[in-house]
Amino acid sequence: MKKLLWLAAASLAIALPAAPVFAKDEFHLYNWNNYIAPETIKRFEESCKCEVVQTYYSDNEELLAKLAAGAKGYDMLVPTSNAVEALIKGKQLKPIDKSQLPNLKNINPIYLNTPFDPGNKYSVPYAMSTTIIGYNDVKMKELGLPTDTWAVIFEPKYLEKVKGRITVLDSANELFAAALKYLGYSANDVDEKHWNEAVAVIKKARPYWAAFNASSYIKELTVGNIWLVHGYSNDIFQANLDAQAAKRAFHILQGMPKEGAVLAVDNMVIHKDAPRPDLALKFMNFMLEGKNSSELTNLIGSGNPNLEAVKYIKPEILKNPAIFPDKAVEAKLEQLKELTGAQRRLRNKLWTEIKAGR
Amino acid sequence: MSSATARKSARLGRWLVSGPPVLYLVVFFAVPTLIMVLASFRTPGEFGGLAPLVEDGKLDLNLESYARFFSEAIYAEIFLKSVWYALATTFFCLALAYPLAALIARSPKRYRDLLLLLVILPFWSNFLIRIYAWMIILGPNAALARTVNGILGGFGHEPVPLLFSSFAVLVCLVYVSLPFMVLPLYANLEKHDQALLDAAQDLGANAWQRFWRITFPLSLPGVFAGSALVFIPALGIFAIPDILGGPEDSLIGNVIKQQFLETRDWPFGSVLSIVLTVAALAIAGFAAWVARRNLGTPSSAREASA
Amino acid sequence: MRGKRRIALWIAAGAGYAFLYVPLIIVIVYSFNNSRLNAEWVGFTLNWYDTLFHDQDMIFAAGNSLAIALTASLVSTVLGTAAGVAMYRYPTKLLSVLVLAPIAIPEILMGVSLLIFFVLLNFTLGLVSVALAHIAFCIGFVAIVVRARLAGMDESLTEAARDCGASPWQTFRYITLPLIMPGVIAGALMAFTLSIDDFVITFFTAGAGTVTLPLQIYSMIKIAVTPEVNAVSSLLMLLTLALIIIASRVSPTLLRSQEDLS
């Protein structure tokens, strides 16, 4: 018995030294994984003489649920706009002292002063992505399918040709938005009649879809098992890089539907119980510098609201209309708004029926 | 020992054995769960979480979430679907695990620990990449799918997707649950006395009879333990349908997860969870009752075979 | 057991092992895959192991996971064995419910409820809160296996010990415990497995800066779960296997079943 206890202690002793010695100045960043370039972090750590401790989430809702239950200890969060709205209304954020953000002037004004945070009292734009169509160019050409309209994922006459080879996002908000856009309504339309129309469209297309998937669809697209996806622009961009690295015979391209799409702007916000709001503000200002902001775009192909960053972004990314859309397309992009509790419940009921095969 | 001190030390023994686990579970399980049981009677917060318990000096409790569950049939439907999946998983796990556990139990002592470890070793790798490995195995261009669809094509049948289907969900459910059936079965089979089987053989019983009349009844406690540890968690699973399920493979675990995340309706999520837990405990209790009635207590089974 | 029957058992068990190991072999082989994705074989490379050795965060997370799993499985095995014995000797409805319910309850409910509970108590979230949560859901697994092992136990041995004047603790230590040891070991293995791979409950009870391996890996789910994950998993499996083999050499009497003692 004693030997076993010694062994347990020894194992713990082996495991624990892997724990780093904590620096006195810690900045806790709660962020999406791979949503900041490692060089950027290093440079910030040098400039602020602090340590950046990152923890990750992979869904806005996970972040919201954890904070709603009372979790503390995070300095900065990076939620998407509708989540920012929820956080502001739920009084979870600390107001920003804009006098400490001289670099705020670098941001494109059309992304400032949003309806959910007028005057940018709490949030500052960080990076963007759109939810669009991703496709295997060889297969789409072979099958003669259009790639610039939501019809290709909703209309049976097109779906027949890709049956079982197409996935859509496993997100009620995203899929409803796509269906509403396809029907010609706003993505934020809350009319129940329009929702029922969207449900009908979805149910008609469902038999042809391989899956509702938000996690493993990208790799299936990249290796050619899936030919068409409803997905996020960053992921599709990365998929193409991976496909080229694997020397595949096809490209993975982004298709911006002409009916419009959802724009997701991720913002930097400070939690109300942040232990180091001063470091958070430093980080915000740091990330508002053009060069620092550009590094993420160059890494993952994310959209960038920072005008100064344009100087540092790779030209091929700048030319990509799905990442840097022209004015005409920009007009059709919409950010998702928060729903009321009753609307969320209705949407979930409809979504449950859709996913149960009813 | 005098009888008084014997009784005292027996009572002390009882407290020492039951006390610590009960205390721990009350503090770190019962109390937090009761918080959420209370939550099932509350109103969801407008932006997430829960609305304040006391609103304008009045206690804000209601049965709305329960009413919703009982008034809409879809939740019961999905729940039943999950029960079917869990039952199927348990059955296939049992079929696969029994030979494995039997082999390990009957192996020479020096190999037993190693064989047992080999069963559980794969499960110390991360869940996600194991599932991704199954996606590779079941992929449309992989050998398995090609073979199956080749055969089906020979009969003029349309190709069937192995991935993103109920089949994939079931295979992975069985895969992740298998060690939880093997280990309890092994713990039981290990103590079976070979002498009983030899005696039966000498008396003329064939292999099937030896298994069905001696080994299987004696292994029933292990069968039930393994079935409980597979069936009950399988009811609440959501990750596997999320990653490789088809468009209609949403289970009750997925619905519950959505309540806490996308819909932010914690009271309803609590209601669904409570129904799930109560149903799981009820099914387990029912199975145990059936077992006791049909087979008597384990000790009487032992006496019957003696 | 004679020839033919034995072969049938070997084939059936072999199928079981194959079912378990084909995916695992893919996992290990793909840790050498020259592609960011875990989807198709592209070419051989050792780069991912190199990446892993330079990835402080991943190693830190793996160390945390190992520490939590060792602690949680140790404590839950002790408490679970006690609970299993109690369920057999002194069964009560309360105990049965307390043991079974954590297994039944959806993880997300348990995670959220524990988070709320810790916040109410103003308990700082971190490795300890995660370990406490893991113990709570592991106890049931150990208890059920131990209980099943005790079923049909031959009471004559314990009665004989008592008649010879052994105290309850001595009876337990020298008679009961060796008899139930395979059940205890099985329970400990299950508890370790559950803890090292848990995501949902860990997500909610982890503090800012607490990272375990599943937390690290699941956050990659929407980007790419690279072969670095395969590499860390393969190494972790090897390490754990080594630890256990060492443990069984160090404490041979403790881990052997009753038969060996006679």
Q: What is the pLDDT of residues B58-96, one digit of tens each?
A: 777 888 889 989 988 899 999 999 999 999 999 999 999
- Same-domain check for residues A213 and A183: yes
3-class DSSP state of B1: coil
Cβ contacts of C204 on chain A, cutoff 8 Å: 65-66, 69, 71
A23 pLDDT more than 50: no
- Same-domain check for residues A32 and A152: no
CB C57 within 8 A of CB C215: no
- Same-domain check for residues A105 and A80: yes
- Same-domain check for residues A317 and A346: no
HSE, side-chain direction, 13 A CA sphere, residue C51: 17
In a domain, A5, yes or no: no
Residues of chain C with pLDDT under 70: 1-5, 251-262
In a domain, A21, yes or no: no
In a domain, A306, yes or no: yes
Range of the domain at A198: 129-262+336-356
Using CA atoms, how far apart are residues B174 and B188, in angstroms rounded to an integer? 21
For A76, A172, B47, the CA distances from A84, given in Å and listed in that order, are 12, 19, 11
**How many domains are there within chain A?**
2
B10 pLDDT more than 90: no
Under an 8 A CB cutoff, do B120 and C141 touch? no
CB A134 within 8 A of CB A228: yes
pLDDT band (50, 70, 90) for residue A9: low
Going by C-alpha positions, the residue among C243, C260, C225, C209 that lies closest to residue C60 is C209
For C208, C211, C217, the CA distances from C203, given in Å and listed in that order, are 10, 9, 12
Fold of C55-261: MetI-like fold (1.10.3720)
- Same-domain check for residues A139 and A252: yes
Give the chains touching B; criterion: ≥3 Cβ pairs < 8 Å. Answer: A, C
Q: CATH code at A47?
A: 3.40.190.10
- Same-domain check for residues A98 and A173: no
- Same-domain check for residues A341 and A219: yes
In a domain, A15, yes or no: no
Q: What is the pLDDT of residues A200-248, one digit of tens each?
A: 999 999 999 999 998 889 989 999 999 999 999 999 999 999 999 888 9
**Count of all residues that appear for chain C in the document:** 262
H or E stretch including A124? strand A123-136
Greater confidence, B87 or A7?
B87
In a domain, A19, yes or no: no
- Same-domain check for residues A37 and A68: yes
Strands of A146-261 (E only): list them.
166-168, 211-212, 228-232, 252-255
Name the residue ranges covered by the structural domains of chain C: 55-261
Cβ contacts of A246 on chain B, cutoff 8 Å: none
- Same-domain check for residues A158 and A303: no
Q: Which residue of B has its CA nearest to A205?
A: B247
- Mean pLDDT over the full length of chain A: 90
- Same-domain check for residues A232 and A348: yes
Tell me the longest C-alpha to C-alpha distance in chain B.
Answer: 83
Listed range (A65-69, B50-54, C216-220) with the worst mean pLDDT: B50-54
- Mean pLDDT over the full length of chain B: 87
pLDDT band (50, 70, 90) for residue B295: low
For chain A, what percent of residues have pLDDT higher than 70? 93
Rounded to two decimals, what is the model's pTM?
0.90
Residue type at B267 in one-letter notation = P
**Counting beta carbons within 10 angstroms of the beta carbon of residue A137, is it exposed (0 to 12), middle (13 to 18) or buried (19 or more)?**
middle
Question: What is the ipTM metric for this complex?
Answer: 0.89
How far does the CA of residue A355 sit from the closest CA of chain B (Å)? 5
- Same-domain check for residues A133 and A255: yes
Cβ contacts of A7 on chain C, cutoff 8 Å: 243, 246-247, 250-251
H helix intervals, B107-206: 109-120, 127-138, 143-154, 166-189, 194-202
Using CA atoms, how far apart are residues C12 and C22, in angstroms rounded to an integer? 15
pLDDT for residue B154: 87
Q: Which residue of C has its CA nearest to A225?
A: C39
3-class DSSP state of B250: coil
Write the DSSP string, chain C.
Answer: --HHHHHHHHHHHHHHHHHHHHHHHHHHHHTTBSSSSSSS---B-SHHHHHHHH-HHHHHHHHHHHHHHHHHHHHHHHHHHHHHHHHHHS--HHHHHHHHHHHHS-HHHHHHHHHHHHHHTTPPPSHHHHHHHHHHHHHHHHHHHHHHHHTT--HHHHHHHHHTT--HHHHIIIIIHHHHHHHHHHHHHHHHHHHHT--HHHHHH--TT---HHHHHHTTTTT---HHHHHHHHHHHHHHHHHHHHHHHHSHHHHS-HHHH-
Tokens for C39?
């989807």
In the stretch 172-201 of chain A, residues with CB closer than 8 A to chain B read 172-173
- Same-domain check for residues A104 and A158: no
